[in-house]
Amino acid sequence: MGNDYRVVIIGGGIVGCAIAYHLTKLGEKSVAVFEKNYLSSGATGRCGGGIRQQWSSLNNVLLAMRSVKHFERFSEEVGMDIEYKQGGYLVLSYTDEEAVEFEKNVKMQREAGLKVEILSPKEVERRYPYINTEGVKMATFCQSDGHANPHLAAFGYARASQKLGADIFTHTKVVGLERLCDSRWIVHTTNGSVKADVVINAAGAFSREVGKLAGVDLPTESYRHQIFVTEPLKDFFDPMAISFSGNYYMRQTKHGNFVMGQGDADEKAGINYSVTFRFEKELSRKMARIFPFLRKLRIIRHWSGHYNMSPDAQPIIGESPSVRGYYYAVGFSGHGFMLAPAVGEAIAEMILYGKAAHVDVSDLNVQRLKGGVVKEKNVV
Amino acid sequence: MHRRIFSHPILDFKRGKPVKIYFEGKEIQAYEGETVAAALVANGIDVFGESYKRNRPRGFYCAIGKCSSCVMIIDGESNVRTCITPVREGMKVARQHGRGDPKW
């Protein structure tokens, strides 16, 4: 371990690794990542792996579009095949009110330059004869959406940043942050202490605790989300299928397995890694009805991870207005994986140039939450 | 070739009545009450399929329906675990090459 870094990143998930990669790529070699467990051990390695640009808030659309640019050239630029597939996202709506919302969203998404189609239930059936469209009012589809393997993406960024000079410490927990009178930081870890100019909180489910280490109160809370995976079939299911009103999402991995999940409105805030039989029962019944080819497939694993929720379900990104030199990229509310490439780039640019150069993230800092919130609705 | 055990010092085999099943078109002698995998092995068929990545022969492994090594196509349905599926008269069994086909 060196003892002096320009930037220390707390959290070795996709967000922390993406920040490390972009910093080193832009020439800042003095970077350390501290991960209390192993890389992608938190929400990154537990998530569905979807990459979606169809959001209800413009900020999310723009960040996701920029991320897709990065995902498209990931294997070439970062040097790892992350099983990226642009099979599109099929967003199914089961209520009339939501269908009206979707029309508005699509208008906004198209103005932002995204190619989105509106599909009738008949058209969905024609394209995907293996989906039961009973109850579907309408659907939207964006071909450039897709999915990838989140573990590989985190490892890819981590390895590339190490090659460019970053130090990555796994199984090393940050336990304290101390401010020196020259406004530098001392970062105390379970494996010793280092100095840093800038500290970044990319701690995902633990963002609030890591905020407190610096006296920064971040309005985030973590909620358990469960997910399971079936045995594999031939690779035939191209899109990621998702529904907010139907409360589900599903994709087929490159290996052939189907990964799926749903949200639970009764979930209490807090860290909880257990799984429930109720989830398995509810989701498998629902999914076998909508996707009849699942009927005879067996569930082979079931696990849980956490959404780090912000009050408006949009990420909180930026430098703390009260504690300078303390940055955060937290509160991703279940879509950190897909936004990480653009957010990593934006944070790196903020630190090195004082301002994000590709996507304007200035209204994603905590101040936006002072005068009430406009909630991102497109979350499962 | 016959690989059935007819007498055993400890175990007792209560064999059901003889049935015929078909392995890739070939008629095979089986007994009611035994599994498809048992009938195949008894008739000298050890290769149930191939591994996904390197196409190496794969056969009977855990014998309790956990490992998926013995999955085959039975009467047109893929991914059937032959080690826990009892034989039925006239059953058609075939090797599954690669992942199973979706059915809807």
Confirm whether B11 is domain-assigned. Answer: no
Confirm whether B64 is domain-assigned. Answer: yes
Q: What is the spatial distance between Cα A25 and Cα A12, in angstroms, rounded to a whole number?
A: 17
Best interface-test mutation with B: which of A229, A231, A254, A294 has the largest number of B CBs within 10 A? A231
Asked if A231 and B79 touch (Cβ cutoff 8 Å), the reply is yes
Q: What is the spatial distance between Cα A33 and Cα A172, in angstroms, rounded to a whole number?
A: 9
In chain A, what are the domain boundaries? Answer: 4-47+151-220+312-369, 85-145+224-305
Does the structure show a pLDDT above 70 at A204?
Answer: yes
Does B98 sit within 8 Å of A236, measured CB to CB? no
For the segment A160-167, the average pLDDT, to the nearest whole number, is 98
For the segment A193-216, the average pLDDT, to the nearest whole number, is 98
Number of Cβ pairs < 8 A linking chain A and chain B? 31
Phi and psi angles of residue B33, each rounded to the nearest 5 degrees, phi first: 95, -15
Q: What is the spatial distance between Cα A69 and Cα A66, in angstroms, rounded to a whole number?
A: 5
CATH (one of 3.40.50.10420, 3.40.30.10, 3.30.750.24, 3.30.9.10) for A85-145+224-305:
3.30.9.10
Complex-level ipTM beyond the 0.90 threshold: no
The CATH homologous superfamily for domain A4-47+151-220+312-369 is FAD/NAD(P)-binding domain (3.50.50.60)
> Phi/psi class of residue A115: alpha, beta or left (left: φ > 0; alpha: ψ in -120 to 50)?
beta
CA distance readout (Å), A13 to A35, A52, A320, B5:
8, 19, 21, 56
CATH (domain of B63): 3.10.20.440
Number of domains making up chain B:
1
pLDDT at A79: 96
For the segment A127-153, the average pLDDT, to the nearest whole number, is 97
Task: Provide the 3-class DSSP secondary structure of residue B36.
Answer: helix
**Where in the sequence is the domain holding B48, given as residue range(s)?**
18-94
pLDDT at B1: 55
pLDDT at B104: 84
pLDDT at A1: 64
Q: For residue range B37-93, what is the model confidence (pLDDT) as tens digits? A: 999 999 999 999 999 889 999 998 999 999 889 999 999 999 999 999 999 999 999
Asked if A234 and B99 touch (Cβ cutoff 8 Å), the reply is yes
Q: For residue range A325-366, what is the model confidence (pLDDT) as tens digits? A: 999 999 999 999 999 999 999 999 999 999 999 999 999 999
Does B102 sit within 8 Å of A231, measured CB to CB? no
Give the closest-approach CA distance of A141 to chain B in angstroms: 22
The pLDDT > 90 percentage for chain A reads: 95
Q: Is B99 an interface residue toward A (CB < 8 Å)? A: yes
Confirm whether B47 is domain-assigned. Answer: yes
Confirm whether B34 is domain-assigned. Answer: yes
Q: What is the spatial distance between Cα A15 and Cα A332, in angstroms, rounded to a whole number?
A: 10
Confirm whether B3 is domain-assigned. Answer: no
Task: Provide the 3-class DSSP secondary structure of residue A242.
Answer: strand
Residue B99 has its nearest CB partner, among A233, A292, A296, at A233
Residues of A in contact with B99 (CB under 8 A): 232-235, 256
> Which runs of consecutive H residues, i.e. helices, occur in chain B?
36-42
Confirm whether B24 is domain-assigned. Answer: yes
Best interface-test mutation with A: which of B66, B79, B96 has the largest number of A CBs within 10 A? B79
Does the structure show a pLDDT above 60 at A298?
Answer: yes
Q: B10 CB contacts (<8 Å, ≥6 apart)? A: none
Confirm whether B58 is domain-assigned. Answer: yes
Q: For residue range A167-182, what is the model confidence (pLDDT) as tens digits? A: 999 999 999 999 998 8
Confirm whether B2 is domain-assigned. Answer: no
